[in-house]
Structure 1
Amino acid sequence: MELIDDRIVGHQFAYSLPLPDFSSSGLEYWVGQNGIFARAARPGIEVLMPLGYYQPLKGLVSLDPYLKVEPLVPGELLLHVWVAACQTTDPATDSLLEALFHLVWVRGHWQLVTPSQKQDTTSCQPIDTSADSSTCNAAIEIHSHGAMSAFFSPTDDRDESSGFRLYGVMGKVRSPRPQMLLRVGLFGHCWHVPLDRVFGLKGGCFFEDLGLQDSRYYYNQWEKPQCPSTMT
């Protein structure tokens, strides 16, 4: 999608649908009848994220939040990440180490990259952060928590507070039902999203999708009966 100017942040009111093409190279805030939304795009991914709900605003249209990942990331790549997470151990103790993975959009396809990294049982950090590295160019970043549950820590919140990217965390990777939690990170705004909106999960999801269990997040447009229909 072509960006039509060089502004970093834009502010717009939604008077009619469809919304116009992007006017910001970074982040747009949209005020609709049903709340405030953040919109952004990058190759392969586009999102309209709900930020809050207020009393209906007269004269504006309601907006439906969405996340588009086109095409979906092949489920096989997600399984490769899980297998690698299960095999990433400390040779001396056989303890599971955290592991970091990047999914990069390359000429219309998703490419899995395992960057060189510093690892221990509670953290992982990429070594190469240059402009040409997967650290800078990944559209989706996933890290594992070994035997711990899948959750985003305060450190994750701090490290993932800039730019536009999808973030995933895997937990209990060697259990019969490993966990995964996925969110959109948009310049410090976070939105948990279902796994099947990002990955092509033919035949069902192998993971326990923790994002589907949290009623604080806005899922009524996912059209999945097991998802909450309202925010609390």
Structure 2
Amino acid sequence: MNIPELITRKFLFASDQPIQAPLYEIAIAQNGVFKRARRREMTAVIELSSFAVRIEELAIEKARVELKKKIPARIFAEILNHSRNSTDAANFTENLYAVYWDEQIEKYFWKEISGTRSFGSTIARDDDAAYQNALLEIHTHPPGCREFSNQDDCDESGKFRLFGILVDIHGEKPAIRLRVGIYDSFWEIPIELVSDALPENLTDLVKQEREQFAKTCKNLRNEVNEFVLIGEYYATENLTYIENL
């Protein structure tokens, strides 16, 4: 019997080279090393490292997440409303949800799948079909806890799916953070990559941070340009002085 390799390693010679490994593959591309995986509902590529010097003989790859069909924004709104109603601000406990694709009906559904709940943790009912088939696993975090925790990293390793946290659910500005996980490798993504619209009343933390970073980089570039222009000015003065000697 010919048993296929669960994990493969390859050179990427074409940008449309298909993903064939049952679990995931490591692809060496022109511009870096990438982890690639696919399942019925999703294809995902995470950049593991980038090359300072490109390998021109290979194809270019890029980090990406592509869904068979994007998740309706109403799903995120419904989960937020349910999480608010399932616990109060004074006695907060985390809650866990699964978003899954029904192949027969061709629609997304969500389900609350918490087995046990406390202020800082929640454990899934791992025998629940919704959990087993989840495309997105999303849980609430205590107020102010806006990052995935070390425990989240541990719990979410060994899976290929989307992960999310909902933060400050009882506040004026509840927020969401999403990432894709490919068997122990994670990449944070803006919600617009996987949702058909931006959910109302939810701040996308990843998008917000990227916009702030881009603004900071732009300001730094402007400062560098001003410095260069001043340097050019003084250099011109010096050059004129030398020529007049």
TMscore range, shorter length: 0.7 to 0.9
1:88 is displaced (CA, Å) by 2.0
Give the structure 2 partner of residue 189 of structure 1.
185
Supply the distance in 2 between the matched residues of 1:76 and 1:214 (Cα, whole angstroms): 24
**Please, which runs of 5 or more residues in structure 1 have no aligned partner?**
216-224
Partner residue of 2:118 out of 116, 120, 132: 120
1:226 is displaced (CA, Å) by 7.3
Identity of matched residues, % = 23
| One-letter amino acid of the structure 1 residue matched with residue 191 of structure 2 | L
Structure with bigger gyration radius: 2
**Please, which runs of 5 or more residues in structure 2 have no aligned partner?**
218-245
Q: Aligned runs of 1:145-160 on 2, under 5 Å?
A: 145-160=141-156
What is the TM-score with the length of structure 1 in the denominator?
Answer: 0.83
Give the structure 2 partner of residue 207 of structure 1.
202
1:133 is displaced (CA, Å) by 2.3
Between 1:190-199 and 1:140-149, the stretch displaced more is 140-149
After superposition, the C-alpha distances for 1:105-152 in whole angstroms (9 at most, x for unaligned) are 1113211111242111111112x323x622221111000014233210
**Conservation of the 8 A alpha-carbon contact between 2:95 and 2:114:** no
Structure 1 vs Structure 2 CA RMSD: 2.3
1:140 paired with 2:114, answer no
Q: Aligned runs of 1:1-232 on 2, under 5 Å?
A: 6-19=4-17, 21-55=18-52, 56-89=54-87, 94-107=90-103, 108-126=106-124, 128-130=125-127, 133-201=129-197, 205-214=200-209, 228=214
**Conservation of the 8 A alpha-carbon contact between 1:43 and 1:105:** no
**Conservation of the 8 A alpha-carbon contact between 1:35 and 1:53:** yes
Supply the distance in 2 between the matched residues of 1:71 and 1:106 (Cα, whole angstroms): 12
Q: Answer 1 or 2: which has greater helix percent.
A: 2
**Conservation of the 8 A alpha-carbon contact between 2:114 and 2:122:** no
Supply the distance in 1 between the matched residues of 2:116 and 2:144 (Cα, whole angstroms): 19
Q: How many residues align?
A: 211
Supply the distance in 2 between the matched residues of 1:226 and 1:120 (Cα, whole angstroms): 33
Supply the distance in 1 between the matched residues of 2:69 and 2:16 (Cα, whole angstroms): 22
Judged with a 3 Å threshold, the aligned counterparts in structure 2 of structure 1 residues 201 and 227 are, in CA distance, closer, same or farther, namely: farther
